[in-house]
Structure 1
Amino acid sequence: MKPISRYLSKAFVVFLVMHLTAGFTESGAARISANLENYLSAGTQARRFWIGCAPVSVRQEIAQVYEGRGYQPVWVDENGLSDTGRAVIEAAGKAGRHGLLPDDYYHGCLSEWQKRLASREPDRFAARNLAAMDIMISHAFFKYADHLAHGKVDPLAVYSSEVIEYPEKNETQKILGFLADMKTPGDVRQAIKALAPAGAGYKAAAARAAHLEKRMKSGAQVRMDDGEVLQKGDKSPGVLQLRQILAAEGDLKKTEKSSLSPVFDAELEKALMGFQKRHGLGADGVAGRKTMAALNWPLYDRLQTIRANLERRRWLPRKLRQRRIVINSAGFELNAWENQDRVLKMRVMAGTKTEMTPILSKDMARLVINPYWNVPSGILEKKVLPKIKNNPDYFAENHFELLSGWQSHDTRVSPEAINWSDVYIRNFPGRLRQKPGPWNALGQIKFIFPNRFSIYLHDTPEQHLFQRRVRAFSSGCIRVEKPVELALFILKTNPLWDRSRIEKIIESGETTAVRVHDRIAVHLVYRTFWVSPQGVVNYREDVYELDQALAKALDSQ
């Protein structure tokens, strides 16, 4: 996941070496190239040395780019800093738009260097220092590009391997190619655009981060009284504060008349319901305890949430499949996409806090209509086995059967022949499975995308739970609200399958496996913040408490 940045120094020391002020009078271009060669040609290992005001580790690959250019500088010439070099420093200064830290890319150091060049203190810089500046800008560009392409943080550095599995990405050669071909400021902008996620959702999230930073700089945040409950018809100073907050959040259109009214009217109620919906709260139009907490959520914490979500988006594959299924386990929602069009949306249930739905990307392989449910050992031990011991009729009442093992040819075993009081998970006599039918825990259809977590999508007989706001009920798998519609999306290009055939097989009760021929990606993501295609800003509760650790890692250097 991090092919280069793990080798790059993250230390940044806030001081400027005074040797920048040394002058020179000899041939500038030749001197710069000679100094670049002196810096970079010693051996094949990564070199770590002080340049200007920061320690820099230059990998062999970067040195080879310079060697291929005959050690000609990329960002400077005998007259000083080029427009292309200025473009890199400017881009580093805007890294906050991506939820990254400008000083990770030596922005403070390079900006001070740039000022000294502009003021000609002294009249000209020494070639050695211009060469050093060129190397530092290359390092800043490469590090920034690497973080945009792969993410700054290694997922496994903050999350357990039991929580996340993403395919390795390696854009290193592409970054080196941009560096080798760099000629104009436009090349810098094009490289950054090509390496950062290109989707409208990422761009909208980055714009929201910039908006929050601007709000934080503009002044203190308005806060409500936590103990107060407000609803339509109330009149109090708290109503004025509520109006200010909803106007700042964009939920209430601010007019001179409404902003001064202390009365909780229908317009304010509608605005509050919009705010509640955007935050995954019950949209009842009453500012109660949970709504007050959301209204008073510090802007800094909101920004940290956006930064964590931007980083998780950078971990995803850049080229998403034309047909894909994206399930957000924090938002409890599934969206199916064809190119840029969302063609299907439904509610889902995800794993509990202790049995999280993992973060992963895989391809859909097959679906099973009228599936059997082979009870996993964890569920068997914690939930099912105690019920078997307490109820002699449990097998018949819940349509379970006991098999002698895990092979296809294994035979059925009579549960009456087992002394269940002596059975534990370690000596369980075979395999427990539930027969197909409306009672089956997997419902009518199971959707399989092979992964090491043994996670899949499936129907559920507990349809009433989809009415809940927070739907973290499963043991890690995803329960889908509309299994037939999802099957139709997956099998859309297969002329042998339509709604009628699927429904007939369901009615027959016959277990039927269907292979998926199209390459349809399944992305299990964790988004506590996103911007909808309609531009609506959404936040959700951090059910798995994954945001804080990632935001902290993003703040480290």
Structure 2
Amino acid sequence: MKSNGIITLSVLLLLCYACGNNAHNKTVERDTTINETTSFNNLFLDSNTLHQFFVTNPRYEKYEKQFDDFYKERNYEYAWFDSSGIGEQARGFINLLNSTISTMQDSSFYNERLMSLYNKFEDSVEKKHTAEEVLNTELLLTGQFFHYTAKMYRGTDSNIADLGWFIPRKKINLTALLDSVILTKNTQVDQFASLNEQYSKLSAFLPSLYALQKEGNWDSIPQRKKPLHLNDDTIIIATIKDRLHRLGDLAEIDSTNRFDSALFTAVKSFQRRMGLSVDGAIGPKMIDEINITPTQRIQQILVNLERMRWMPAPHKKHEFIYVNIPEYKMYVYNDDTLKFSMNVIVGTAANSTVIFSGDLKFIVFAPYWNVPVKIVRTEIVPAIKKDPGYLVRNNMERTGGPDTLPSIRQLPGPLNSLGRVKFLFPNNYDIYFHDTPNRNLFSASSRSFSHGCIRVGEPKKLAQFLLRTDTAWNDIRIDTSMESHTEKWVTLPHTVPVMITYFTAFVDNEGVLNFRKDIYKHDERLADKLFARH
């Protein structure tokens, strides 16, 4: 049971707060003070005080439940103060806010009133504080903590499915996070609610881009009729050298106009980072990428950091398959180690590949292709009307349905659009991995050619990996099954998690910053939400 002194102090704090209720930033001038050296023990607040707090601090109102749960669990005892005054956890959190503001350049993490009050407690001269100051500092720290962790670890309040993202979103318990921080006095929140590993790698590039933004001088380089090649000499080359040096691709400053070997190497570095054809020539696509300003790149990174906040915790299963759509790349992991990667082909802008997760369960060798209704309606039926022999020539057969919309499937074989094997992870979007007879398409730098499914560059290698623990499936049997004209289904001994994502800014395995085109305009739509563009 609480002492009468504690009850009296609780009532006093409530009265002090109510007196300041009509003026948001006004300090109540009362003779009631708390001496840092003697009176910070056992501070409690009244539950009604919380609800009054939201009247003058509406920005934190959406966290009212978290406030209630947190303080109720503590029996309404203060969290950010200890017997000596403002606690170590408060200092750590303020340092974390300042660091985040510096890195992210995000003013929403700054609360002027909180900082003003906090600085009073850190002032070595000031030893006495009003009960109002103590109360407001306590609640503002709590509110700003909820705001910080919600934004940094959960992300936007928008319905992410409306943004084309169907991977289950990571769940964050803000109250439990704050309780852990207060209990351990450890404000390294990552230890309690880790972000995707890519997050810290990508955000580390923001300070250098903000520095470039501040420097300015990023006028558009004009396009040329012909690409520039090694040993060319023209005034525009000096500008390109300066740009590539500032971006980190060209090591040494060079103001000459000659396309030398150092620039050739820098150009290939830049092309590789942008997902362009790595040929060492400066053509229109490369000029377009060079002309993207630091401000635009910062926004692109912030958009992708937001998506990384949504990512669920890493899978604990041994195998894991990850596809990044704008990169046209598949990564295959085992025991947290990247085993191999391969090029993939994804859906066109009109037939975009869905962003979702699933579990790979089946391999189908020598598959039939049951042609989707949309393709039958828009492509097959018109082709049959023009050429009655279309089905036979394309190794297809009709399995039913009316003439206006027949059911069509393509037989196994070298002409089959799914190639020699497909990999199924059952889902509502009818998307899967598969081989393709059109192997030449994998050499293109931009590979959005499919109707939505994902074509894999090395299907046999993927099959070998998935069947590696089954001694019945050696290379010869896999080859024979792929070359067969009889469909064969294989159920994997255990499912393998698959995640199909969409990141246009990321850091590769060599620690190099990469950017890709926003092929489905997902970045554009998310930016509208994040930056409230009108």
Q: So what's the TM-score if we normalise by structure 1?
A: 0.83
Show CA shifts across 1:352-391 (max 9, x none).
Answer: 1111111111111111111111111111111111001111
Answer 1 or 2: higher relative contact order, Cα 8 Å, separation at least 6: 1
- Corresponding residue SS for 2:338: strand
Match of 1:207 in 2: 204
Letter in 2 for 1:247: H
How many correspondences in the alignment?
Answer: 505
User: How do residues 15-414 of structure 1 correspond to structure 2 at under 5 angstroms?
Assistant: 17-19=25-27, 24-25=32-33, 28-29=39-40, 32-34=43-45, 36-40=46-50, 48-51=54-57, 56-77=61-82, 80-95=85-100, 101-103=106-108, 105-119=109-123, 124-156=128-160, 158-159=162-163, 163-172=164-173, 175-183=174-182, 187-189=186-188, 191-199=189-197, 201-217=198-214, 219-223=215-219, 225-228=221-224, 230-254=228-252, 259-320=254-315, 321-404=317-400
- Corresponding residue SS for 1:486: helix
Kindly indicate whether the alpha-carbon contact (under 8 Å) linking 1:89 and 1:110 is maintained by their aligned counterparts in 2.
no
Kindly indicate whether the alpha-carbon contact (under 8 Å) linking 1:92 and 1:102 is maintained by their aligned counterparts in 2.
no
Letter in 2 for 1:351: G
The yes-or-no answer on 1:446 pairing with 2:439 is no
Pair 381,93 (structure 1): closer, same or farther in 2 beyond 3 Å: farther
- Corresponding residue SS for 2:495: coil
Pair 269,65 (structure 1): closer, same or farther in 2 beyond 3 Å: same
- Corresponding residue SS for 2:465: helix
**C-alpha separation between the residues in 1 aligned to 2:156 and 2:191?**
17
**C-alpha separation between the residues in 2 aligned to 1:196 and 1:57?**
23
Q: CA deviation at 1:178?
A: 3.1
Kindly indicate whether the alpha-carbon contact (under 8 Å) linking 2:27 and 2:132 is maintained by their aligned counterparts in 1.
no
Match of 1:473 in 2: 449
Pair 524,155 (structure 1): closer, same or farther in 2 beyond 3 Å: farther
Show CA shifts across 1:405-446 (max 9, x none).
Answer: 6xxxxxxxxxxxx7xxxx43xxx24x2111111111111111
Match of 1:488 in 2: 464
Pair 282,293 (structure 1): closer, same or farther in 2 beyond 3 Å: same
- Corresponding residue SS for 2:147: helix
Letter in 2 for 1:292: I
Letter in 1 for 2:243: I
Gaps of 5+ in 1: 1-14, 406-417
**C-alpha separation between the residues in 2 aligned to 1:404 and 1:319?**
45
**C-alpha separation between the residues in 2 aligned to 1:322 and 1:366?**
17
Letter in 2 for 1:313: M
- Corresponding residue SS for 1:378: helix
Q: CA deviation at 1:532?
A: 0.9
Kindly indicate whether the alpha-carbon contact (under 8 Å) linking 2:118 and 2:137 is maintained by their aligned counterparts in 1.
no
Match of 1:500 in 2: 476
- Corresponding residue SS for 1:392: coil
Q: CA deviation at 1:341?
A: 2.0
**C-alpha separation between the residues in 2 aligned to 1:100 and 1:194?**
24
Letter in 2 for 1:534: E
**C-alpha separation between the residues in 2 aligned to 1:297 and 1:469?**
19
Match of 1:9 in 2: none
**C-alpha separation between the residues in 1 aligned to 2:187 and 2:222?**
48
Show CA shifts across 1:451-486 (max 9, x none).
Answer: 111111111111111121111111111011111111
**C-alpha separation between the residues in 2 aligned to 1:377 and 1:78?**
71
**C-alpha separation between the residues in 2 aligned to 1:134 and 1:238?**
58
Pair 327,548 (structure 1): closer, same or farther in 2 beyond 3 Å: same
Letter in 2 for 1:166: I
**C-alpha separation between the residues in 2 aligned to 1:155 and 1:482?**
36
- Corresponding residue SS for 2:455: strand
Match of 1:528 in 2: 504
Q: CA deviation at 1:184?
A: 7.2
Pair 339,147 (structure 1): closer, same or farther in 2 beyond 3 Å: farther
Kindly indicate whether the alpha-carbon contact (under 8 Å) linking 2:196 and 2:308 is maintained by their aligned counterparts in 1.
no
Pair 81,466 (structure 1): closer, same or farther in 2 beyond 3 Å: same
- Corresponding residue SS for 1:357: coil
- Corresponding residue SS for 1:164: coil
Q: CA deviation at 1:106?
A: 4.3
Match of 2:518 in 1: 542
Show CA shifts across 1:44-66 (max 9, x none).
Answer: xxx84224x95544433432321
Kindly indicate whether the alpha-carbon contact (under 8 Å) linking 2:41 and 2:82 is maintained by their aligned counterparts in 1.
no
Match of 1:412 in 2: none
Letter in 1 for 2:99: K
**C-alpha separation between the residues in 1 aligned to 2:502 and 2:42?**
52
Kindly indicate whether the alpha-carbon contact (under 8 Å) linking 2:368 and 2:410 is maintained by their aligned counterparts in 1.
yes
**C-alpha separation between the residues in 1 aligned to 2:190 and 2:161?**
25
Pair 550,41 (structure 1): closer, same or farther in 2 beyond 3 Å: closer
**C-alpha separation between the residues in 2 aligned to 1:352 and 1:153?**
29
Kindly indicate whether the alpha-carbon contact (under 8 Å) linking 1:21 and 1:121 is maintained by their aligned counterparts in 2.
no
- Corresponding residue SS for 1:33: coil
Kindly indicate whether the alpha-carbon contact (under 8 Å) linking 2:347 and 2:453 is maintained by their aligned counterparts in 1.
yes
- Corresponding residue SS for 2:56: strand
**C-alpha separation between the residues in 2 aligned to 1:220 and 1:100?**
17
Q: CA deviation at 1:114?
A: 2.3
Kindly indicate whether the alpha-carbon contact (under 8 Å) linking 1:84 and 1:184 is maintained by their aligned counterparts in 2.
no
